[in-house]
Amino acid sequence: MFSFQWPWLIILLPLPWLIYRFWPMSLHHRQVIPEIRLPYIQAIALAFQHTKPVEKKTGIKRSFWLLAFAWLGLTLALMYPQWLDKTVEVKKDGYDLMLALDLSGSMRYRDFVAPDGTQLDRLQAAKIVLDRFIQYRQGDRVGLVLFADHAHLQAPLTLDIQAIRTLLSRATLGMVGRETAIGDAIGLAVKKLRERPSESRALILLTDGDNNAGRLHPRKAAELAKQYEIRIYAIGVGSVDLLAQGLNENALREIAELTGGQYFPATDLQALAGVYQHISDNLLKTEADSRIYLQQTPLYAIPLGFALLMLLMWAWMRVNLQEDF
């Protein structure tokens, strides 16, 4: 379907004529200057003229039409003509998953080993595991919450999986403080998930410590999640020895079980292997909001090129035919 994005700009079409007609300094209104008239001056002028009077009038007429067509082309280009392809309505069934990632200072501990033997800190390991997890969530709505001293919504629920992966890769320690506000993270996730159908929403919480910051207690936040039927899947990140020093596994297990979710100790890079299977067994996919997309192909280059061609022809006539414009 052909259309103009700014059709109202057609009002510019008579602008040159209006300037000529009403501008005080235009040729139409120029003041007649007294001149000395000499006998036979026209005959003398015609004797030195290279072109015939008829040719002069023809040149002026040509130049008028070339400039008129050039202005028409420029006006059409400004109206931004475009071709709209048929609308495409996208509907996908999927889960509503909010990821809450701990960025507290203890995530700097290097107690993970990559397949190539490289030592990784907890945040690097969490990014690797989450990236693999997100990569296969095509059709699911995924959001991202980062938390430490407080919780921050890095991305709302979206079908743009690649954007979530990019934002996850840019998360760094210290972005939101050094402490661990688990309750605030759960509360923020609940706020963003509560408008989605209850049978499809879940929070995946990754942390390596106990709640020691924030205004909302994790138990109170979990009760709020239960009220909205949001399941929490808590994942304790770190080696067994170091987890015992700071992670309150009992608290995380209590939070998860209170909401109908489950607690998973993540002591290696394969820890999330069973999480999505558990989600698939306990949640139902729901349809995302319908979206309509229009494929727009701009066509302004065609009238713009036509206008430039008219101007080049006008310039060529003026230089090579030496016509009076």
Handedness of CA 312, 316, 318, 321 (dihedral sign): negative
**Residue 8: HSE in the Cβ half-sphere, 13 Å Cα cutoff:** 0
Whether 235 and 149 map to the same domain: the answer is yes
- 175 and 269 part of one domain: yes
**One domain for residues 99 and 235:** yes
325 falls within a domain: no
**Residue 94 and residue 34 share a domain:** no
* Tens-digit pLDDT profile for residues 1-28: 788 888 888 888 888 888 777 776 544 4
Query: What element of type H or E holds 96?
Result: strand 96-102
**Same domain, residue pair 29 and 155:** no
Are 60 and 134 members of one domain?
no
* Enclosing domain of residue 12: 2-86+294-320
User: From the first residue on, what is the mean pLDDT of each consecutive set of 10 residues in the chain (325 residues)?
Assistant: 84 83 59 56 59 55 82 89 68 82 87 78 84 81 92 90 91 87 93 83 85 89 92 80 62 89 76 63 60 72 89 82 51
Residues 131 and 270 in one domain: yes
pLDDT at 56: 54
How many percent of the chain have pLDDT more than 90?
A: 18
Shared-domain flag, residues 232 and 107? yes
User: Are 160 and 254 in a shared domain?
Assistant: yes
Res 238: pLDDT: 72
DSSP string, 10-63: GGGTTHHHHHHHH-TTSGGGPPPPP----TTHHHHHHHT-SS-HHHHHHHHHHH
110 within domain boundaries: yes
- Count up the domains in the chain and report the number: 2
Query: What confidence score (pLDDT) does residue 222 get?
Result: 92
Task: Answer yes or no: do 50 and 97 share one domain.
Answer: no
pLDDT of residue 198: 74
Residue 186, pLDDT score: 94
Same domain (yes/no): 313, 265: no
Condensed to tens digits (0 to 9), the pLDDT of residues 50-80 reads 545 545 556 667 777 888 888 888 898 888 8
Q: What is the CATH number of the domain that holds 250?
A: 3.40.50.410
Q: Quick one: 249 and 142 in the same domain? A: yes
Q: How far apart are CA 99 and CA 186, in angstroms?
A: 10
143: β partners: 98
Tell me whether residue 212 is in a domain.
Answer: yes
